[in-house]
Chain A
Amino acid sequence: MWRFIAMRVLHVIPTLIVISMIAFFIIQLPPGDFLSTQVARLEAAGQSVDQAQMDALRERYGIGDPFWVQYAKWIGNIVLHGDFGLSFQFQQPVSTLIADRLPLTLALGIATLMFTWAIALPAGIYSAIKQHTWGDYTISGIGFVALAVPQFLAALVLAYLGFALFDQSVGGMFSPEYVNAPWGVGKFVDLLGHLWIPVVVIGLAGTAGIIRVTRANMLDELNKPYVITARAKGLSEGRLVTKYPVRIAMNPFISTAGWHLPSLFDGEIIVAQVLALGTIGPLLLEALKSQDMYLAGGIILIIAVLTVIGTLISDLLLAAVDPRVRFGKA
């Protein structure tokens, strides 16, 4: 097992190197560089520019150097010092900006994931077992509607309902009085009160796909001979379904579970933007709009790295639950 993990980790390293190059290439694409833009802006505002500081920054980021030298400095700072560079727009280190928003982003991402799976998996299993019944049609119908309604629209509707029915403040993760308050029970309850809207909006759209896949997988598995065997042993329907077909129908989810890791990090950008959530998604959007290259590059790099790590986790999980993968038979 350890050997397998070690091999997989070794495979990950070249992938990560290539990804980091592509990420840096992308953030280099806009013409000009952020220092010259900043100098221009400061001069336009009539301020003098501290030449020594500019030179120091120029030196630090290797502005004007060839691509490979700049890339080496950028990635060197990240790997050796954990320094993602300075955000041009916010005038703060990129790592600080991300760290500020990380807890809320993760809270939203994890809550959404739990919500999605907690609803979708049982619904999918139920609709497979009760195929061609009203229960099945209802679940499938709701699933399709949830998939078809644009998320931003659902977000707006729910935000309005929250405002009209529960007298909630629209947008954001906190009511105004808690935004700058220190953490406490009150603030946490307030967070939960706001969190449900994005969780339901993002989660519902995700459930539809998972319900369809679970249902299809289950329908395949329910007709397999081993289910008849289990029934012929005298197992009750509930127990045999959960022990045999469900176990096997879950494999596709386990093999893609790791892909949720990057989405935990960036969240749903559009919904977060509509609801003005303080997560990392809108930050990325903002950075891309204002050509804030180190901020955008840092976020893109982290998302890419998380994708690779997520895939690795999925592979390991799948090997842990499915002996056919473990013994190389599937």
Chain B
Amino acid sequence: MSRRRRTQERDAAREIAAATVGGDRPMDPGSVLELQHLCTTFHTDEGAVKAVDDVSLRIRRGSTTCIVGESGSGKSATARSIIQVVDHPGRVESGRVLYRPASDGPVVDLAALDATGPGIRSIRGREIGLVFQEPMSSLSPVHTIGDQIGEVLELHERLAPAAVRERVIDDLRRVGIPRPEERAGAYTFQLSGGMRQRAMIAMALVCRPSLLIADEPTTALDVTTQAQILDLLAELKESLGMTLMFITHDLGVVAEIADDVVVMRHGRVVEHGPVDQIFHEPRHDYTRELLAALPQRGAVTVTEPVPAEVPAPARPLLRIQDLEMTFEAAAGTMFGRRRTERVNAVDKVTLDIPEGSTVGLVGESGCGKTTLGRCVLRAYRPTAGKLFYTGADGRETDLAALSEKELLPFRRQIRMVFQDPYGSLNPRMTVRQVIGEPLRVAGLASGSELDGRVEEMLVRVGLKRSMAGRYPHAFSGGERQRIGIARALITEPRLVVADEAVSALDVSVRTQILELLAELQGDLGLTYLFISHDLSVVERICDQVAVMYFGVLVEHGPAEQVFADPRHGYTRALLSAVPVADPRLRGTRERVVYESEGSAA
């Protein structure tokens, strides 16, 4: 074993020596990494796709460099190209990846190393660590986190198993995981999202790399957890003296942490500069566009929603009274005693939704906001409580008490827009079928009348009539979300539940969809229940805001009031965790932490 290891180390050293670049100042000594004309191509059946197209950038030693761009801009592919772990059909075609671990040390061209050889393997994990977006799927579900972290140590440092375990526990403690001795033996599904991401960070840092590449490490997390992870990364960067390359689509996060910013689009670098310059003197149009799409800046004015027209106290379209939804979950199977755990997903929520308004429902994942939305749709039958719906004729009906059959007429009046524009459209149905289905199954229209209404609706949501015959795969994410909206509106509903309807979209597309929603509300007199974890979006479009925490409605009021003067401690914590999209305001706001008895990690 040790002999094999020695051979491997010798091979690695030889390979790296061969890839060492000499010559006259190949790169700036102040940089730890420099990409020169890097090209990464994905060879698919439809031809070659240049994911990274002639990218040149440099990362200063000890800095935090953010790579920003929308989905498909090639930012992830660039990061993965550095250590040559691009997804399958992709390959680093040309260009140089110059890496200089020490300012006076030699320069190695990582792109010249064999992608599966010992040279690059001795750098991965040991000198360059990588953290991914979704810690649940990026860690193996059948190995303990201690095993997965310890593996890196066994691989790169010759440590005895006992020493490995000690280091793993130390590092888990360092990234803020409580009871690390116990947690080292835990599986990913036993940890919360934030804890999983901490474990992932511990894994990337266990060998003390000089460069950490974090690929959207906080995108899958709640704002409060995101704030904790960002703090942790900043602290670790300081204490371990490393360089951080941070990939994100969120300009708010960039403003919070970056020293330098690289803006990417279509696989190319659009703009590269210090954070202050990027935010305050953007040179490229695309950067300006991105900044304009930021909700906090309010640069894009959304058509004011209807309240001006509606007489002062609008009658509530829906009155939610003491609504409760309890799930029974079986917990502990094999080692523990089998017991049924009751989870109060929605706990005595009372909320009025005025007609013609937009009510925002915010909270972290697991707070019960989606469950509440589904109860309103009567996708779930609430355990207790009432849902008084005022019909067009002014009569109130308690939806919670109706049977499936009695609900049918109401199903057309309360509709839903889903989060995932990819998963919520059947790939084997044409757009015409997708949008027309609600009318067809209700027997409201058929034949040419149905087609006519579908096409009218397509135009209404900003698509073309001629698109009706296409399948969903032919559309971009934003266009698909428009199709989803058309499907919701085809039955002429009065209340639309939008569950994270814009969360999966890029910022520029998100703005367009929000504008569309506002426009449709004005034209059709719609009422929205807007469920979102994104506070900036809610602030921009909602008249009223309801904040949920562990199934309980903790605060509820007009949007301006809740955002300007939050009364509940949790609302304050939530607001303080939202990144401020201006690097000059960095550190001016104090972070509030809310702890309640239910919030133990």
**Do residues B125 and A233 form an inter-chain contact, with CB atoms below 8 A?**
yes
In the complex, which of the residues A235, A244, A248, A327 contacts B190, with contact meaning CB atoms closer than 8 Å? Answer: A327
A41 to B98, CA, bound (A): 95
Map CB proximity to A onto B181-205 as digits: 1 under 8 Å, 0 otherwise.
0000001011000000000100100
In the complex, which of the residues A232, A324, A329 contacts B83, with contact meaning CB atoms closer than 8 Å? Answer: A232
**Do residues B124 and A225 form an inter-chain contact, with CB atoms below 8 A?**
no
Contacts of B349 in A (CB 8 A): none
Does B227 lie at the interface of the complex (its beta carbon under 8 Å from any beta carbon of A)? no
Known A4-B333, A225-B137, A229-B130; judge A321-B123 contact (CB<8 A): no
Residue of A nearest to B337 (CB): A3
**Do residues B330 and A226 form an inter-chain contact, with CB atoms below 8 A?**
no
**Do residues A233 and B124 form an inter-chain contact, with CB atoms below 8 A?**
yes
Does A322 lie at the interface of the complex (its beta carbon under 8 Å from any beta carbon of B)? yes
Residue of B nearest to A230 (CB): B140
Contacts of B189 in A (CB 8 A): 324, 327, 329
Known A228-B80, A233-B203; judge A247-B130 contact (CB<8 A): no
Contacts of A100 in B (CB 8 A): none
Minimum C-beta distance from A39 to chain B (A): 57
**Do residues B203 and A223 form an inter-chain contact, with CB atoms below 8 A?**
no
Contacts of B200 in A (CB 8 A): 229
Does A176 lie at the interface of the complex (its beta carbon under 8 Å from any beta carbon of B)? no
In the complex, which of the residues B142, B152, B330 contacts A247, with contact meaning CB atoms closer than 8 Å? Answer: B142
Docked complex: B316-357 residues within 8 A CB-CB of A: 330-335, 337
Contacts of B134 in A (CB 8 A): 225
**Do residues B116 and A232 form an inter-chain contact, with CB atoms below 8 A?**
no
A230 to B132, CA, bound (A): 12
**Do residues A228 and B85 form an inter-chain contact, with CB atoms below 8 A?**
yes
Residue of B nearest to A319 (CB): B334
A217 to B138, CA, bound (A): 18
Docked complex: A5-21 residues within 8 A CB-CB of B: none
Map CB proximity to B onto A141-181 as digits: 1 under 8 Å, 0 otherwise.
00000000000000000000000000000000000000000
**Do residues A232 and B334 form an inter-chain contact, with CB atoms below 8 A?**
no
Minimum C-beta distance from A139 to chain B (A): 19
A4 to B118, CA, bound (A): 45
Docked complex: B111-152 residues within 8 A CB-CB of A: 116, 118, 121-126, 129-130, 132, 134, 137-143, 151-152
Q: How many A-B residue pairs have CB under 8 A?
A: 94
Interface size on A, residues (CB 8 A): 31
Does B281 lie at the interface of the complex (its beta carbon under 8 Å from any beta carbon of A)? no
Contacts of B132 in A (CB 8 A): 225, 228-229
**Do residues A228 and B87 form an inter-chain contact, with CB atoms below 8 A?**
yes
Minimum C-beta distance from B373 to chain A (A): 25
Known A225-B134, A226-B140; judge A234-B125 contact (CB<8 A): yes
Contacts of B374 in A (CB 8 A): none
Minimum C-beta distance from A226 to chain B (A): 5
Does A1 lie at the interface of the complex (its beta carbon under 8 Å from any beta carbon of B)? yes
Contacts of A230 in B (CB 8 A): 140
Minimum C-beta distance from A1 to chain B (A): 6
A140 to B333, CA, bound (A): 41
**Do residues A233 and B83 form an inter-chain contact, with CB atoms below 8 A?**
no
Map CB proximity to A onto B428-456 as digits: 1 under 8 Å, 0 otherwise.
00000000000000000000000000000
Map CB proximity to B onto A311-330 as digits: 1 under 8 Å, 0 otherwise.
00000000101111011110
A3 to B336, CA, bound (A): 9
Interface size on B, residues (CB 8 A): 40
A225 to B122, CA, bound (A): 21
Minimum C-beta distance from A218 to chain B (A): 13
Contacts of B152 in A (CB 8 A): 233-234
A20 to B203, CA, bound (A): 55
Does B412 lie at the interface of the complex (its beta carbon under 8 Å from any beta carbon of A)? no
Map CB proximity to B onto A222-257 as digits: 1 under 8 Å, 0 otherwise.
111110111111111100000110011000000000
Contacts of A244 in B (CB 8 A): 140, 143
A96 to B137, CA, bound (A): 55
**Do residues A321 and B142 form an inter-chain contact, with CB atoms below 8 A?**
yes
**Do residues B116 and A233 form an inter-chain contact, with CB atoms below 8 A?**
no
A222 to B151, CA, bound (A): 19
**Do residues B187 and A324 form an inter-chain contact, with CB atoms below 8 A?**
yes
Does B405 lie at the interface of the complex (its beta carbon under 8 Å from any beta carbon of A)? no
Known A234-B152, A236-B121, A327-B187; judge A229-B83 contact (CB<8 A): no
Minimum C-beta distance from A6 to chain B (A): 11
Does B411 lie at the interface of the complex (its beta carbon under 8 Å from any beta carbon of A)? no
A329 to B332, CA, bound (A): 10
Most buried by A among B122, B141, B332: B141
A225 to B134, CA, bound (A): 8
Residue of A nearest to B118 (CB): A236
Does B156 lie at the interface of the complex (its beta carbon under 8 Å from any beta carbon of A)? yes
Minimum C-beta distance from A11 to chain B (A): 14
Most buried by B among A3, A225, A236, A324: A225
Residue of A nearest to B120 (CB): A234
Contacts of A225 in B (CB 8 A): 132, 134, 137-138
A322 to B333, CA, bound (A): 14
**Do residues A232 and B125 form an inter-chain contact, with CB atoms below 8 A?**
yes
Does B88 lie at the interface of the complex (its beta carbon under 8 Å from any beta carbon of A)? yes
Residue of B nearest to A228 (CB): B85
Residue of A nearest to B189 (CB): A329
Minimum C-beta distance from B126 to chain A (A): 6
In the complex, which of the residues A1, A236, A243 contacts B334, with contact meaning CB atoms closer than 8 Å? Answer: A1
In the complex, which of the residues B80, B87, B130 contacts A223, with contact meaning CB atoms closer than 8 Å? Answer: B87
Does B310 lie at the interface of the complex (its beta carbon under 8 Å from any beta carbon of A)? no
Contacts of B240 in A (CB 8 A): none
Map CB proximity to A onto B278-289 as digits: 1 under 8 Å, 0 otherwise.
000000000000
Residue of B nearest to A233 (CB): B125
Residue of B nearest to A239 (CB): B155
In the complex, which of the residues B151, B187, B335 contacts A233, with contact meaning CB atoms closer than 8 Å? Answer: B151
Contacts of A326 in B (CB 8 A): 333-335
In the complex, which of the residues B126, B330, B337 contacts A328, with contact meaning CB atoms closer than 8 Å? Answer: B330
Minimum C-beta distance from A243 to chain B (A): 8
**Do residues B187 and A231 form an inter-chain contact, with CB atoms below 8 A?**
no
Residue of A nearest to B117 (CB): A236
Known A248-B142, A328-B330; judge A234-B137 contact (CB<8 A): no
Minimum C-beta distance from B465 to chain A (A): 38
Map CB proximity to A onto B417-437 as digits: 1 under 8 Å, 0 otherwise.
000000000000000000000
In the complex, which of the residues B118, B335, B337 contacts A1, with contact meaning CB atoms closer than 8 Å? Answer: B335
Minimum C-beta distance from A20 to chain B (A): 29
A4 to B332, CA, bound (A): 11
Known A225-B134, A244-B140, A323-B187; judge A237-B334 contact (CB<8 A): no
Known A234-B123, A234-B125, A234-B152; judge A229-B333 contact (CB<8 A): no
Contact surface of A with B, Cβ cutoff 8 Å: 1, 3-4, 222-226, 228-237, 243-244, 247-248, 319, 321-324, 326-329
Contact surface of B with A, Cβ cutoff 8 Å: 80, 83, 85, 87-88, 116, 118, 121-126, 129-130, 132, 134, 137-143, 151-152, 155-156, 187, 189-190, 200, 203, 330-335, 337
Q: Other CB < 8 Å A-B pairs besides A228-B138, A329-B189, 15 of them?
A: A228-B87, A229-B132, A229-B203, A230-B140, A233-B125, A233-B152, A235-B121, A235-B155, A236-B116, A244-B143, A326-B333, A326-B334, A327-B187, A327-B189, A328-B334
What are the 10 tightest A-B residue pairs by CB atom distance, in nearest-first order? A234-B124, A234-B125, A233-B125, A328-B333, A232-B130, A225-B138, A234-B121, A4-B334, A225-B137, A226-B140
For this complex, 9 residue pairs linking A to B, each with C-beta atoms less than 8 Å apart, are A1-B335, A4-B333, A229-B139, A234-B123, A236-B116, A247-B140, A327-B190, A328-B330, A329-B189
